[in-house]
Amino acid sequence: MLGLMLAGTEFAMRGIDSGQPLIPRPLNWPRHREDWARWWPMTMLLTGTVLIAMSSQIKLPSLLALGFVAMALARRLGGTVKAFFQACVPLGVVALAVMALIGWASGLGFGWLFTLGTANVVRSWMSPPTLVALGTGQVGILLGLGDHTTAVLGLTRGIGVFVIGVLVTWLLLSVLRG
């Protein structure tokens, strides 16, 4: 998962950061090697998008890398709200097409969407919000207040999701600003 995501991000960023236009003008069918080379940045961007979408079929959070690719592309297209949508829509369509193709080819379809909440069942101390909740619950038991671990777990996980959301939004906007 990590290898596909990082390789995809590298390919996509190389396509975005190349000095050549993503779509060469005039649009015509390439006949010579030089004509094919003009399509290299777009090929790199699409290859990266496909690799990131493939990695998301292993572990869904890797799809977040596509958001950073989209922000870098939006920055190249002008850094406006319009550029943001011009970058996000095509990348999202390609990612959804890859996901649908993998679901169809594997025969699994989209049944995995209903199992995304399974990770919340496990109380792993390796997650900082869960560790805080487990520790707080144990302190409550030791003080004779009862076992409130589940209630505290809901609160700390909510706070953790909020903090991560703010952090990721800040990072995405940082990429957009350059």
Instruction: State yes or no: pLDDT of 120 exceeds 80.
Output: no
Instruction: State yes or no: pLDDT of 93 exceeds 80.
Output: yes
d(CA 71, CA 73): 5
Task: Give the domain ranges of the chain.
Answer: 1-112, 122-178
Instruction: Specify the length of the chain in residues.
Output: 178
pTM of the shown model: 0.83
Q: How confident is the model at residue 122 (pLDDT cuts 50, 70, 90)?
A: confident
d(CA 57, CA 99): 7
